[in-house]
Homo-oligomer: A and B are copies of this chain.
Amino acid sequence: MSTGKKKIEWVANYMPLLNEISKMGQPLKNWKIGMAIHMEAKTAYLAITLHKLGAEVIATGCNPLSTQDDVAQALAEMGITVYAKRTHDENEYLKTVHKVLDHKPDLILDDGADMTVIAHTERKEVLENLKGISEETTTGVRRIKILQNEGKLKVPVIAVNNARMKHLFDNRYGTGQSTWDSIMRNTNSLIAGKKVVVAGYGWCGRGIALRAKGLGAHVIVTEVDPIKAIEALMDGFEVLNMDNAVEIADIIVTSTGNRDIIKEEHILKMKNGIILANAGHFNVEIPMEKIEEMAEEKFEARTNVTGYKINGKTIFVIGEGRLVNLAAADGHPIEIMDLSFALQSLSLMYLSENYQKLDNKVYDYPKELDEKVAYMKLKTLGIKIDHLTQEQIEYLKKF
């Protein structure tokens, strides 16, 4: 079996919701779906699922760096049209987006909104046939809302990220686990007893802090929001400002969604051997340029780990300050992506059935589909929950 096929078969074992959905018949028969996605095993299995539901799927990446060619190859062999290649530069990548659009898809499944924006600007002719878009990320939704505000959005869009089954789970449990998986495998360093600084106590930060505690670390949280700071405190963590935290830190993980969380003066105060990792979306939280500039020497210390000698001390950065679980490990755990992609599949099916009733605007993820995914997950786990009686429904109306 090819390596690509093997990778896809592996994730298929732990994606029970996609497996369940793929048995739902042919609701997407005669629907052409254009996908722009990270071309790796988990997303590949989503493409296959849509294909099983009857759709013609035409796919490319959403970032050439994340494309795994063996997976793309396997997908192609399974009946998906694939244009992604790892070696593509930015320009070549954009050409593949155009190639997908050449197919005049009925639906777009987008990740970051490149395909959506191009369809609405350079390739307006494809809008004629386009009936709906399902967008995975917050960043993508933000870009689409600009189109909407300018009156340029021509199809209904479903924002998948605000589904409860997505944002409640992938940040806390996905990022929480995979950040530590990455740090442990890349450093072989003991977490128990370490002083771990988590910058930012949003959903990601909470997950990272919780798992660090679970691994025996002494966790210190930094925040700019005073209320979140008190939450961290009452969750049993120490709260310091970065200026004080950096002096005692063995490991710092940034997850703020903001830039320059670590500043020049902080770098000078760090302990020798400190490990820095970023779990925020963009690689601006750890100031890589500043570090490169300050370093007297830079060297590869271990696969995925770069050492910088600064002022007589050595600082280690994992995955070049990029999202540590993706840049230096396998991204979110499979089951987390299964939840997200179940939401995506239902979103596309929903658009195919309801697009005529929908306006050309960004819709929140439909509550009933959100709960449907939750019930499917419970079913695959064999878990039964309670249901409101009529009396209870009445009671809730009153109180």
Quick one: which of A365-391 are within 8 Å of B by CB? 370-371, 374-375, 377-378, 381, 383-389, 391
- Residue numbers in B under 8 Å from A142 (CB-CB): 399
- Most chain B beta-carbon contacts within 10 A, residue among A184, A336, A386, A399: A386
CA distance A173 to B314 in the complex (A): 26
Q: Quick one: which of A210-252 are within 8 Å of B by CB?
A: 211, 213-218, 222-227, 229-231, 233-244
- Contact (Cβ within 8 A) A173 B185: no
Residues of B close to A177: CB separation below 8 A: 184, 190-192, 215-216
Of B187, B230, B237, B392, which is within 8 A of A260 by CB? B392
Number of copies of this kind of chain in the complex: 4
> In the complex, are the beta carbons of B302 and A10 less than 8 A apart?
yes
Contact yes or no, B189 A333, CB < 8 A: yes
A13 within 8 A of B: yes
* Residues of chain A in range 120-178 having any CB-CB distance to chain B below 8 Å: 139, 142, 164-165, 168-169, 172-174, 176-177
List 21 interface pairs A-B (beta carbons < 8 Å), by A numbering: A1-B299, A173-B192, A181-B181, A181-B185, A185-B329, A189-B335, A211-B214, A214-B214, A215-B215, A217-B236, A223-B385, A227-B374, A229-B385, A230-B377, A240-B384, A241-B385, A258-B392, A259-B392, A260-B391, A282-B399, A284-B395
B334–A139 contact, CB under 8 A?
Answer: no
**A188 CB–B CB distance under 8 Å:** yes
Task: Fill in one digit per residue for A195-222: 1 if any B CB lies within 8 Å of its CB, else 0.
Answer: 0000000000000000101111110001
Interfacial chain B residues near A29, Cβ < 8 Å = none
**A27 adjacent to chain B (CB < 8 Å):** no
Nearest-CB distance from A293 to chain B (Å)? 17
The answer to whether A236 touches B193, judged by C-beta atoms less than 8 angstroms apart, is: yes
